[in-house]
Amino acid sequence: MHSWSKDTLPVLKGECLYDDESRMDEVYMSLLAESDTYPLCKKILELMCASFSKLGERMLCDHLEGGKFWNVEDDVKHEMMSVPTTNVGVERDFGMLDRLMRENPNASTLALEGLIMWQENKTGKWRDELNEEMRAKYMRIARESMNEQRWLYFERHMAIKEVRAMRWAEKYERAVAKVEREGERMVSLSNELKQVGGLWSSVSELEERLSALADEKEKCDALKVQLKFWKWVLKAKNKDGILNHSVAGKPKRFNDLLES
């Protein structure tokens, strides 16, 4: 996709993208025929390929070069073979767990998860197919490892809680930092507003304040302070970017700021 975003000529010439054999019929030949829209079609196709390339890089970043799943070792590939291709089964399992927890509020999560795994893995069918000796052996192992399994579950549960607590703390710190930045901005804008005579609440006051300023630059700076105060402190609606200082990356002129 990345190479086609720069040049889609091979695609337009009909080069086969896959190993499947192309049928050279009338439809195929009509698609390759020259037309007046050929240059426009080429440009549109390049734009589409560029969009698909950007989307693929963002969604498949872990599987592309440099990602954590790029060029993985054989043992990791073997583990990944059992990973489901969709999340349908996972969502169904969590839905079942939620229902069981509501119907059996006194049951432990470990026991309810065991019921779901018993059903999904078809453990009962596997157990019934064992002979008497092997069945007794595995049942003994299950009983003896019960405490160990509970401890492993407890450790895993605590690790998840620690990760959640860490993420919550980071989120809280970001929220506090945001509030502090907004507070500092409001204080700064309030000080700037005092320097231009406070908030101008009428057209006559606006004209009076502007007439007292020496040049156009000072007038523009004063208008920008007023717009910033309305936008960030008074939280006025910035419809169509009316409170912005620039348009399409270019600073607004004095008349544009005055209209705002």
Is a pLDDT exceeding 90 seen at residue 187?
no
For 62, the token pair is 């872990």
CB distance 126 to 134 below 8 Å: no
Is a pLDDT exceeding 80 seen at residue 15?
no
pLDDT band at 18 (very low <50, low <70, confident <90, very high): low
Task: Tell me how far apart the alpha carbons of residues 105 and 108 are, in angstroms, rounded to a whole number.
Answer: 8
> What mean pLDDT comes out for the span 239-250?
75
- Residue 232 has phi, psi (to 5 degrees) of -95, -30
**Alpha-carbon distance values, 217 to 145, 174, 222 (Å):** 79, 37, 9
More confident residue, 23 or 137: 137
Is a pLDDT exceeding 90 seen at residue 95?
yes
* Cβ within 8 Å of residue 257, ≥6 positions away: 220, 223, 224, 227, 245
CA dihedral (137, 138, 144, 147) in degrees, to 10, reads 180
Least confident span in 51-65, 92-106, 132-146: 51-65
> What mean pLDDT comes out for the span 227-255?
77
Task: Tell me how far apart the alpha carbons of residues 211 and 206 are, in angstroms, rounded to a whole number.
Answer: 9
pLDDT tens-digit readout, 137-184: 999 998 999 899 889 888 988 999 999 999 999 999 999 999 898 888
DSSP string of 156-170? HHHHHHHHHHHHHHH
pTM of the model: 0.45
